[in-house]
Amino acid sequence: MLVCRLALRELWISFRLLLLLAVYVAAGTVAAVVPAPLPTTLFRLAVGLAAAGVTAAVIAAWSLSRERALGRAAWLATHSIPRATILIGWFVPLAAVSVLGLLAAGSLGWLATSASSARPGALAFAATVASIATLVMALLALGLLVGALVRAPAAALVTALACALIVAVPWAAVPPVTLPIEALARLPELAAPTSLAVQGAGAGLLATAVLLIVARGALGRVDL
Amino acid sequence: MAGSTDASSAGWGRRVAYLGPDPGLYTWMTPTEALCLAGGLLDLPADETARRASRVLAWTGISLAAAAAPLSRGGAPLQQRTGLAAALIGDPEVLLLDEPLRALDEGERSRMLKLPDRRRTVLLASRHPASEAGHVEQVAYLRGGRVRLIAPIAALERAELPLSHRGIVALAEMEAALSVAPGAATA
């Protein structure tokens, strides 16, 4: 809890928290304010949320690698704070801010779809946004893993490339692999969007857990 | 560390303190906040933390005004003073100092490295051994992750070697030669 508070204050003072929230809100605002047919609105919202997720992961990688470079992680470790706590202490506030941002962006996106007669069901829309939240958590965990291994600014660059690939490649794949973000863009076409979202959420949570465990192992072996 | 795997304040957490070249403090904190955090992490009661904080702040020459302002305003000297104060607040038995207090002038640095109160073991890592004259009783030389030499300062003086990297390496080589050929040494 102490590391969470320190991380949250560090994010606030360095404007990283505001930047993250702003990217999510901007994604929702573009979808809500710029008039377009429903598929275009959903596509814009999906692209915006993908950009926000990549930004969140880059901030995670940058933050953890900076904590190591500035000796703060080492200072906490020499004051009886386990390395796993340092990792979770950064994951929790970043995930919480991302969920808040997704709530705002999702609400704006839902408002943007209200004009269309082909509007998706509320449950399907909410479930898809929730599954995107789990994908963002997995990207955050990946960012923390890179931040545990690579020094900034290379950590930010590697994370940006890796996350952009994760988000973009399934989109371009043939046959298509339906990640939650792609599912949002194709929501009106999907036969069973809610069950697909639940599957996506499960996969996202599993990926998050695996990546956090790997990141914990990596952070335990590197010099802080 | 030292045979203990318990890093909590009940284990080696309070007995061993470390100060690196970069103190690793959040620069938006004030020195007082940093010391309260350090005391809290060592499970010190609040009143004991406050009592110890005022003592180590005085020792490290941090004024009341500086103690109430963010560390970022005082720059590296204030951050390093606060880092030493945070290391001392737990009154550790062993203090590991890695290139400490380089941002301070030599006189102030020397005064602060003559640590107060109790007798404790201080391990000071330095790439400039000459600047540590007067603070150290023994020198050690590490190479390839192994200790090649531990000798009292008097051994350097006896061999008419300076307290410098070159002098310590020369003493290590002399000691190694003596240990390889003890007969030659007595001849």
* For residue A175, cis peptide bond before it (omega within 30 degrees of 0): yes
- Search chain A and give the residue with CA nearest B95: A78
Whether residue B8 and residue A73 make contact (CB cut-off 8 A), yes or no, is no
Write the DSSP string, A94-160. HHHHHHHHHHHHHHHHHHHGGG-TTPPPHHHHHHHHHHHHHHHHHHHHHHHHHHHHS-TTHHHHHHH
CA distance B44 to A63: 29
Q: How far is CA A79 from CA A43, A167, B46, B55, B107, in A?
A: 48, 38, 17, 20, 29
Res A95: pLDDT: 96
Res B186: pLDDT: 42
CA distance A138 to A210: 9
Report the gap between the CA of A71 and the closest CA in chain B (Å). 4
- Domain boundary assignment for chain A: 2-221
Report ipTM for this prediction: 0.76
How many residue pairs from chains A and B have C-beta atoms closer than 8 A? 44
Helix, strand, coil shares of chain A, percent, nearest 5, are: 85, 0, 15
Instruction: For residue A73, list chain B residues with Cβ-Cβ distance below 8 A.
Output: 24
Condensed to tens digits (0 to 9), the pLDDT of residues B29-40 reads: 999 999 999 998
Condensed to tens digits (0 to 9), the pLDDT of residues B136-175 reads: 888 999 888 888 899 998 898 888 888 888 899 999 998 8
Do the beta carbons of residue B164 and residue B137 sit within 8 Å? no
Do the beta carbons of residue B168 and residue B129 sit within 8 Å? yes
Which has more confidence, B54 or A115?
B54
How many other CB atoms are found less than 10 A from the CB of residue A184? 27
Residue among B8, B18, B25 whose CB faces A78 most closely: B18
Residue among B8, B20, B40 whose CB faces A74 most closely: B20
pLDDT tens digits, chain A, 224 residues: what are they? 888 999 999 999 999 999 999 999 999 999 888 888 888 889 899 999 999 999 999 999 999 999 999 889 988 988 888 899 999 999 999 999 999 999 999 999 998 888 777 788 889 899 999 999 999 999 999 999 999 999 988 999 999 999 999 888 877 776 666 788 888 888 888 888 888 889 889 999 999 999 999 999 999 888 87
Instruction: For residue B18, list chain A residues with Cβ-Cβ distance below 8 A.
Output: 74, 78
| B172 sits in which H/E element | helix B165-180
Task: Quote the tokens at residue A215.
Answer: 């990141």
Amino acid residing at B15: R
